């Protein structure tokens, strides 16, 4: 792929697999390994109470494999989604822009699609990325449930070792104690080592504190794009988790949180997003089971908050 690529494709509605009326457009602007998307759908094509998820797809045999991008939002008299991701690994997925064929929009009652590879869109043969995620944790044939769970955990651990967010997270800080390979394979990181890592970060980044209604103290560190390269890659599970990468690329930051009560101290990673039932289902599939609403001057929209996952 050349260093610079820019194009516009028209979005069409589909009914029972058949292409219908024009509904909007998608603009793609790729320069080096940064790829920007802007998806625009006319206001009258989607009902006010309807939600619509956006995917970029690649063709796999006679089907479309979708990588989740985000959800359309009402802006300036239209429905839109925009975001930035890596050109060679769209939203941290298994394919890049060069392998993609277009975008697929899945509403509650409508389907839309745009194809920039000029091939027909089999709109009734679409497999979203979350379906592949569910298949990945299903029990393999001939194995017990325990064996299947162990296999899934081992694969996640290996990904966390081998990859970092955007493949740019690097080791830093001789003061941070390194886990040995044996420790990683046989037991979770001890709580006192997590405390050491947290102390290391608080000396380098601003920390925000607030108190929950039940008296628990919560401390958070916001990590922006420029900060992540300073975080040791194997310390905070910043691995190839598609949901984490999606939130990071869409909002440009993550949160590390420390929640302290008289009985316990827990650490979490927070992925920015907006709460709805569909997003909750996907977040849970990737281990982000709790949603915390954030109120303040930086709140971007109603319902904005963070999907949280415990760091063990």
pLDDT of residue 182: 41
Check: CB of residue 37 under 8 Å from CB of residue 56.
Answer: yes
Task: Characterize 84-113 residue by residue with b for buried, 16 or more Cβ atoms within 10 angstroms of its Cβ, and e for exposed.
Answer: ebbbbbbbbbebbbebbbbbbbbbeebbbb
Q: What's the CA angle centered on 273, arms 267 and 279, to 5 degrees?
A: 100
pLDDT category at 125 given cuts 50, 70, 90 is very high
Residue 159: other Cβ atoms inside 10 A: 13
Q: What are residue 224's phi and psi, to 5 degrees?
A: -90, 180
- What is the pLDDT at residue 225? 59
Place of tokens 């947290």: 198
pLDDT in tens, 79-105: 999 888 899 989 888 899 999 999 999
Enumerate the H helices of 9-140 as residue ranges: 129-136
Domain range annotation of the chain: 4-133, 137-311
With bands split at pLDDT 50, 70 and 90, how would you rate the model's confidence at 287? confident
3-class secondary-structure state, position 138: coil
Q: Are 165 and 244 in contact (CB under 8 A)?
A: yes
Query: Above 80 in pLDDT, residue 140?
Result: no
| Cα distance between the two ends of the chain | 40
Domain 4-133, CATH number (from 3.30.60, 2.60.120, 2.60.40, 3.40.190): 2.60.40
- Whether pTM > 0.85 for this model: the answer is no
With vertex at residue 169, the alpha carbon angle to CA 283 and CA 71, rounded to the nearest 5 degrees, is 30
């Amino acid at each position: 792929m050349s260093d610079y690529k820019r194009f516009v494709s028209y979005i069409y509605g589909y009914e029972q697999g058949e292409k219908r009326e024009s509904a909007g457009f998608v603009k793609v602007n790729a320069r080096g390994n940064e790829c920007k998307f802007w998806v625009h759908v006319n206001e009258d094509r989607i009902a006010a109470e309807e939600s619509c998820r956006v995917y970029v797809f690649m063709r796999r045999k006679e089907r479309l494999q979708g990588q989740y991008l985000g959800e359309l939002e009402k802006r300036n008299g239209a429905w839109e989604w925009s975001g930035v991701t890596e050109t060679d690994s769209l939203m941290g997925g298994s394919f890049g822009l060069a392998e993609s064929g277009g975008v697929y929009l899945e509403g509650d009652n409508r389907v839309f699609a745009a194809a920039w590879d000029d091939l027909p869109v089999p709109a009734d043969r679409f497999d979203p990325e979350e379906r592949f995620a569910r298949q990945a944790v299903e029990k393999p044939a001939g194995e017990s449930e325990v064996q299947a769970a162990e296999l899934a955990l081992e694969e996640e651990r290996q990904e966390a070792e081998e990859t970092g967010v955007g493949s740019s997270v690097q080791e830093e800080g001789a003061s941070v104690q390194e886990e040995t390979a044996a420790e990683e394979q046989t037991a979770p990181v001890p709580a006192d080592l997590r405390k050491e890592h947290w102390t290391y970060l608080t000396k380098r980044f601003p920390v925000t504190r607030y108190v929950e209604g039940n008296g628990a103290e919560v401390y958070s560190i916001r990590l922006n794009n420029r900060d992540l390269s300073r975080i040791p890659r194997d310390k905070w599970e910043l691995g190839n988790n598609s949901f984490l990468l999606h939130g990071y690329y869409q909002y440009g930051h993550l949160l590390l949180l420390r929640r302290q009560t008289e009985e316990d101290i827990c650490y979490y990673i927070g992925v920015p997003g907006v709460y709805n039932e569909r997003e909750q289902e996907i977040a849970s599939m990737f281990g982000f089971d709790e949603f915390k609403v954030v109120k303040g001057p930086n709140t971007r929209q109603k319902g904005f908050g963070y999907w949280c996952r415990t760091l063990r």
